[in-house]
Structure 1
């Protein structure tokens, strides 16, 4: 696994975000601008134990058809920003 991917996964896991109660489609929206689709699929697959290939096909559909919840996205962003999201985003 590439170092930047490991660091990104570690960042999310170390945050106070409860992945068990987080919709992976909301996370796709949060990280969409920070990864290529292939890397985003890999990232989400590690976090949520989902099939990477299936995710790769879901990403554009999720974004294009707005299959995310903006209220939940905002909560996720608040949590991630409290844990250094802006600093992490500068590194990507």
Structure 2
């Protein structure tokens, strides 16, 4: 089981396509992982329904930050596999 004290980050980025590819590669290679998605837009994902007006040039593609973590013992394997991504 991956817990906060035995995890290492193998990916952090804003591309949902790369995030999906990383998760797919780890799953294909039977490497357990967990992920976290952080909303950077300032707009709550669920909430009051109020909309924040802001920079109209900011696309939704860059509104989220994606993190992928693996167990420390799997880090070297996962890093080696993802290095060519």
- TM-score normalised to the size of structure 1? 0.28
Rg larger in structure? 2
Bigger strand share: 2
The structure that is helix-richer by fraction is 1
TM-score of the superposed pair, with normalisation by structure 2: 0.30
Structure with more relative contact order (C-alpha pairs < 8 Å, separation 6 or more): 2
